Structure 1
Amino acid sequence: SDAFMAKDNHLALLDNGEQLTAALKSVRARLGHTTSMEVEVDSIAQIPPVLAAGVDIIMLDNFDPADIPAAIELINGQAVVEASGNINASTVVAVAEAGVDVISSGAITHSVKAIDLGLDMVIA
């Protein structure tokens, strides 16, 4: 199945009410029935209008772990809850304990050290 994601900077162009819900419903109507729709939010205020649009996944972007339980309670099982942003080895446990369904972290790739690997071959 395909996926569509609306980022929080896309949402910034709209208000956090009916305008946001209507825009997301319009997108939803154009997507195939097998396409999952994920919307990234950066405030609890964005959650009700996003939920009203019937999205599949809500990504909590840069939420303080202490604010995540309130977001999960508001979502109340109506969408998968993903946490992202500033998640690293020191914050991942608190985010997981807050009760999200999915955690995504760029720290895994941002901190990778490259190795110099030569594939020289000697042909005898």
Structure 2
Amino acid sequence: MNNNEIFKKLRVALQLRDDQIVEILELVDFRMSKGELGNFFRQEDHPKYMECGDQVLRNFLNGLVIHLRGTKENPKNPKEVIAANTPVAKTTPEKSKPTKIFKKTTHSNKPISTKTAVMENTKFKNGKKK
């Protein structure tokens, strides 16, 4: 596993965007543009792919510690920082369809299973019933 893969996995696990990573790197006075950063996350066979060096990963990890924990003078709770940066999914109430249960009887008036009843009403591509 190389530095690029570690960097990608941390980015996904912490749900970080490129601009957030740039801000984290600036916490340790390491300047990098979004374009340079994007080159680390490309496929290895891409012409603009760049190998992530030890210095970049080290500075990112040091900045991440400051971002999550804060400094000695200004400590933070890491769980609160992660929760504040996690995007909240929009929840829309789903309209549920009423469930219909089909009960069919055989010639002996003995009920058959719902699954069998649904399969009996299924039409195939040629238009014929089962």
Q: Where on the TM-score scale, by shorter chain, does this alignment land: which range?
A: under 0.3
Structure with greater strand share of residues: 1
Larger-gyration structure (1/2): 2
Structure with greater helix share of residues: 2
**TM-score for the superposition, normalised by structure 2:** 0.24
